[in-house]
Structure 1
């Protein structure tokens, strides 16, 4: 009950924050800020991915989703022609990048929830520090995958286009 209550309050707080933030024009401000950075479209996406990685070090994934998606998604849709995609393709591509970034959060210290779950089922002699060190190659692989999908969007778009 405590965990569910905490999650519900987290969601209520994040939704309230996003609602008020958008009501006072924060979403439009952030969108214009991203679009006027003077970066290429891919540079803007890289900045967004870096922001998500930083947020993943100290925030819960639900809050990250509720706070950043309403701001980042319209920017990516605006940049779609510059990225060589349609708006629908850009939505799918960004969604996959977003989920891959959140997966990195699940393993990365200091909060990596997957590491704590693993510690709960590991033998007593395995320390949390050993687990954090052991997941570093997997984090590197996930970052490599994220970079590949950013550089070659067709990796993420192949199956949706095949099904369409």
Structure 2
């Protein structure tokens, strides 16, 4: 059996199991085991899978993954993500498709803060999707924006996917981060351009976000950007220590986890103050 056919069968098996609702971890483990056993035999197949899993788990850089997951959960639970979206929605002003555009911008910021694609899509689905549907946005357009913008966490550093890929491919994770930032931002720009063109051609798909705050002069609306200050500081801190060479990706992830706790504590204090 040729490698092309084997690859095709692996992809079909992965998609088929996920379509039936099998969890991703069980799906990948099952396909890996079955493929290894069929190609190398029962004993050798089990050994190959076990050896690869053991080798990956001994990678020091992999510690960055739970740190970034923890940081994403702290930002979600503390309400920082919602505050970020509200600030961007008000500061953005009145123009057709503004909430969709702001959702893409918030997705970029959340990706830079967490690096978790699944968590980002969940956050956007809980925060932005109800808002767009409430304002009368087209349902298909709204869901498409959430899915497309949420997937930006795959490219925009610090991406957990790039960390895992870098370990598997023996490539510098820092260089992967540097190489993926521009394509990620370019893709976000293309999404925003598409939204603006689409809603201009079909105005009924995206009513104007009309609340009193959006009618304020631009400089007066800037005060509503206070919800973006703490997340921006956290993002630039994490990415800054990586690109400047001060810390490795793993160390930066630890800094981000501690910083997320500090940001959550400051925000709670600010919210509880009269």
> Does TM, normalized by the shorter one, top 0.5?
yes
- Residue equivalent to 2:164: 117
TM-score by length of 2: 0.36
CA RMSD of aligned residues (A): 3.9
Moved over 4 A (4+): 33-38
Instruction: Work out which of the residue numbers 141, 153, 159 in structure 1 matches 2:198.
Output: 153
- Residue equivalent to 2:130: 74
| CA displacement at 1:119 relative to structure 2 | 0.5
Matching of residue 56 in structure 1 with residue 111 in structure 2: yes
| Structure 2: stretches of 5+ with no match in the other structure | 1-24, 27-65, 200-274
| Structure 1: stretches of 5+ with no match in the other structure | 22-26, 81-86, 155-164
| CA displacement at 1:94 relative to structure 2 | 1.9
- 8 Å CA contact 1:34, 1:75 repeated in 2: no
- 8 Å CA contact 2:117, 2:151 repeated in 1: no
1:54-86 CA deviation, whole Å, 9 max, x = no partner?
A: 122223333333333233223212333xxxxxx
TM-score by length of 1: 0.55
- Residue equivalent to 1:158: none
Q: Is the alpha carbon distance of 1:120 and 1:149 closer, same or farther for their aligned partners in structure 2, counting shifts above 3 Å?
A: same
Matching of residue 127 in structure 1 with residue 172 in structure 2: yes
Bigger relative contact order (CA 8 A; separation at least 6): 2
Instruction: Work out which of the residue numbers 138, 145, 162 in structure 2 matches 1:97.
Output: 145
Report the structure number with the largest CA radius of gyration: 2
| CA displacement at 1:34 relative to structure 2 | 5.0
Q: Give the secondary-structure state (helix, strand or coil) at the position aligned to 1:152.
A: helix
Q: Give the secondary-structure state (helix, strand or coil) at the position aligned to 1:101.
A: helix
- 8 Å CA contact 1:106, 1:113 repeated in 2: yes
1:101-156 CA deviation, whole Å, 9 max, x = no partner?
A: 122211111x2122112212224xx32222122223422441233123212338xx
- Residue equivalent to 2:216: none
